[in-house]
Amino acid sequence: MTKAVVLLSGGMDSATTLAIAKAEGYEPYALSFRYGQRHQAELACAARVAEAMGVAEHLVIDIDLRRFGGSALTGDLAVPKDRDLDRQVDEIPVTYVPARNSVFLSLALAWAEVLAASDIFIGVNALDYSGYPDCRPEYIAAYERMANLATKAGVTGHRALRIRAPLIRLTKARIIRKGMALGVDYALTGSCYDPGADGRPCLRCDSCRLRAKGFVEAGTADPLLTEFGISAP
Amino acid sequence: MTKAVVLLSGGMDSATTLAIAKAEGYEPYALSFRYGQRHQAELACAARVAEAMGVAEHLVIDIDLRRFGGSALTGDLAVPKDRDLDRQVDEIPVTYVPARNSVFLSLALAWAEVLAASDIFIGVNALDYSGYPDCRPEYIAAYERMANLATKAGVTGHRALRIRAPLIRLTKARIIRKGMALGVDYALTGSCYDPGADGRPCLRCDSCRLRAKGFVEAGTADPLLTEFGISAP
């Protein structure tokens, strides 16, 4: 089986991406990060998803991005609530973590090279998203080009490495339908930027609202809300 | 003053790069990594260099690359000694750390974005070097392109970020002459991949031998050897 490294945050999108990698026949190696995120509860979700989907290995790497600051997700700034999701695309919210996807992809690249994996999967999405620069197709393409020059692949003529972002042009509703068709149990996932101690979603941050919009548009209930006894918004 | 992030390993090349950044008028923010390297003694060198050169701040970030393995510098493999340095360029030695420069540059990118720094300096060299893929000019160019798509710079039309590798086409001898002209004290630096507990260089690894070759060609004694009472090879 061909190996692939799959970035797994524990949210909806990365769980769906993992299911896609499996459906395509890859042996998945899941990679998560304890990076100082205030929603560290997502790591419990990542572990549950990795176990339910039967990954070859699940690594959690510590990298304290709080040392740099600059984000509501790792710093002292409050997570914004009830934001207008139809805002200008060039307005980047304070939940953006500087260079986060580049840090995560670079560590995935290190593992992929050691494993001799051919693909790295990342669940970024440029449609129903928060406007982060490192979620756009042109970024992913530039990253892939760089990655092939960074590693042995670029020197010795090994097989090229691919950065796969299968959700990048899908709406949240399509992601959910695709995941459900592949048997993803969304009750195991968590999306909230500011969850309660028990993992209860706030329902008001960008991430909760994008998730809710997705389930409404997909015409199905979010099993996570059912689990917390919350009726759909 | 314009801020720049400077990757500082504590070796000759990064110390020279820091001196160049200062000479160009940048306010330098030095960044080092405790990544599980067997030559962790280099971090003491980095601290000495940062202090001697008066950086605005020196951050040491923990990121355990041993979790991935795959290198003599972080794993159980022995550091090769007395290698033929005129080997084929497409032969990558076991001291190569998979994707290391991409990991380091990505963390520098995170800090640069928070600091609003305009440049990231890295002391890579593609001439007197060990044949690592992530030391080549085409890699640095691809990284810069990716970095500008990864961050706010790429979205809001901020000033573009530059990845600066001022040593990339210099011989070790020219690097040493340049550094000495800028007042770099090479006695503070350490290059050895396999030093003794007191920081004493092994003199037989690639890095020691490239350094020795450089000082011979520059026609000057290595002050580090003088400090350890070692006569020049």
Return the percentage of chain B with pLDDT > 70, whole number. Answer: 94
Residue B88, pLDDT > 60, answer no
Helix (H) or strand (E) holding A114: helix A100-115
Rounded to whole angstroms, the Cα distance separating A213 from A219 reads: 10
pLDDT score for A179: 98
Inspect the interface and report whether the beta carbons of B64 and A69 lie closer than 8 Å.
Answer: no
ipTM: 0.92
Work out the minimum CA distance from A192 to partner chain B, whole angstroms. Answer: 23
The model's confidence at residue B84, banded by pLDDT at 50, 70 and 90, is confident
> Residues B8, B15: contact at Cβ < 8 Å?
yes
Work out the minimum CA distance from B146 to partner chain A, whole angstroms. Answer: 5
Inspect the interface and report whether the beta carbons of A155 and B101 lie closer than 8 Å.
Answer: no
pLDDT score for A154: 65
Is A233 domain-assigned?
no
Rounded to whole angstroms, the Cα distance separating B212 from A165 reads: 46
Average pLDDT over residues B57-68: 94
SS (H, E, C) B102-153: HHHHHHHHHHHHHHCCCEEECCCCCCCCCCCHHHCHHHHHHHHHHHHHHCCH
Give B1-13 pLDDT, tens digit per residue. Answer: 899 999 999 999 9
The model's confidence at residue B80, banded by pLDDT at 50, 70 and 90, is confident
Is B140 domain-assigned?
yes
Is B232 domain-assigned?
no
pLDDT score for B197: 84
Mutate to test the interface with B, among A87, A102, A156 (most CBs of B within 10 A): A102
Q: Does residue B78 or residue B172 have the better pLDDT?
A: B172
The amino acid at B139: Y
pLDDT score for B35: 92
Inspect the interface and report whether the beta carbons of B150 and A133 lie closer than 8 Å.
Answer: yes
Mean pLDDT by 10 residues, chain A (233 residues): 96 97 98 92 96 97 91 79 69 84 96 94 86 90 94 72 96 96 97 90 92 95 93 69
Inspect the interface and report whether the beta carbons of B99 and A150 lie closer than 8 Å.
Answer: yes
Helix (H, G, I), strand (E, B) or coil at B6: strand
Average pLDDT over residues B156-175: 89
Question: Cβ atoms within 10 A of the Cβ of A54, count?
Answer: 10
* Secondary structure letter of residue A233 according to DSSP: -
Inspect the interface and report whether the beta carbons of A149 and B155 lie closer than 8 Å.
Answer: no
Question: Cβ atoms within 10 A of the Cβ of B40, count?
Answer: 12
Rounded to whole angstroms, the Cα distance separating A118 from A26 reads: 9
Comparing alpha-carbon positions, the chain A residue that sits nearest to B101 is A150
Is A9 domain-assigned?
yes
> Residues B135, A155: contact at Cβ < 8 Å?
no
Residue B90, pLDDT > 70, answer no
Inspect the interface and report whether the beta carbons of A114 and B67 lie closer than 8 Å.
Answer: no
Rounded to whole angstroms, the Cα distance separating B105 from A109 reads: 13
Helix (H, G, I), strand (E, B) or coil at B57: strand
Is B80 domain-assigned?
yes
pTM comes to: 0.93
Residue A122's contacts (CB-CB under 8 Å, 6 or more residues apart) are A7, A14, A17, A101, A104, A105, A108, A140, A163, A164, A165
Cβ density class A29-47: b for 16+ within 10 Å, e for less: bbbbbebbbbbebbbebbb
Which of A67, A111, A146 is facing B143, going by the closest CB pair?
A: A146
Is B202 domain-assigned?
yes
Give B19-47 pLDDT, tens digit per residue. Answer: 999 999 999 999 999 999 888 889 999 99
pLDDT score for B108: 97
Rounded to whole angstroms, the Cα distance separating A161 from A119 reads: 6
pLDDT score for A232: 65
Inspect the interface and report whether the beta carbons of B99 and A92 lie closer than 8 Å.
Answer: no
pLDDT score for B158: 67
Number of domains in chain B: 1
Inspect the interface and report whether the beta carbons of A146 and B151 lie closer than 8 Å.
Answer: no
User: Phi and psi for B19 in degrees, rounded to 5?
Assistant: -65, -40
Interface size A-B, in CB pairs within 8 Å, comes to 157
Residue B155, pLDDT > 70, answer no
pLDDT score for B73: 80
pLDDT score for B133: 87
DSSP string, B27-42: EEEEEEEESS-TTTTH
Per CB-CB distance under 8 Å, the chain A contacts of B95 are none
Comparing alpha-carbon positions, the chain A residue that sits nearest to B150 is A134
* Angle of helix B12-23 versus helix B172-181 axis, rounded to 10: 50
Is A182 domain-assigned?
yes
The amino acid at A17: T
> Residues B129, B86: contact at Cβ < 8 Å?
no
Which two structure tokens, joined as six digits, stand for A104?
């995560």
Which of A102, A139, A151 is facing B106, going by the closest CB pair?
A: A102
Per CB-CB distance under 8 Å, the chain A contacts of B90 are 155-156
> Residues A32, A9: contact at Cβ < 8 Å?
yes
> Residues A46, A32: contact at Cβ < 8 Å?
yes
Of A194-198, B52-56, B130-134, where does the model show the most confidence? B52-56
> Residues B11, B30: contact at Cβ < 8 Å?
no
Per CB-CB distance under 8 Å, the chain B contacts of A139 are 146, 149-150, 154
Which of A102, A110, A142 is facing B109, going by the closest CB pair?
A: A102
Which of A110, A111, A134 is facing B150, going by the closest CB pair?
A: A134
Helix (H) or strand (E) holding A3: strand A3-7
Per CB-CB distance under 8 Å, the chain B contacts of A99 are 106-107, 109-110, 113, 147, 150-151
Average pLDDT value over all residues in chain B: 90
- Which residue in this structure is represented by tokens 């990795």? A50
Per CB-CB distance under 8 Å, the chain A contacts of B147 are 99, 102
Q: What CATH number did the domain enclosing B161 receive?
A: 3.40.50.620
The residue segments making up the domain with residue A15 are: 3-227
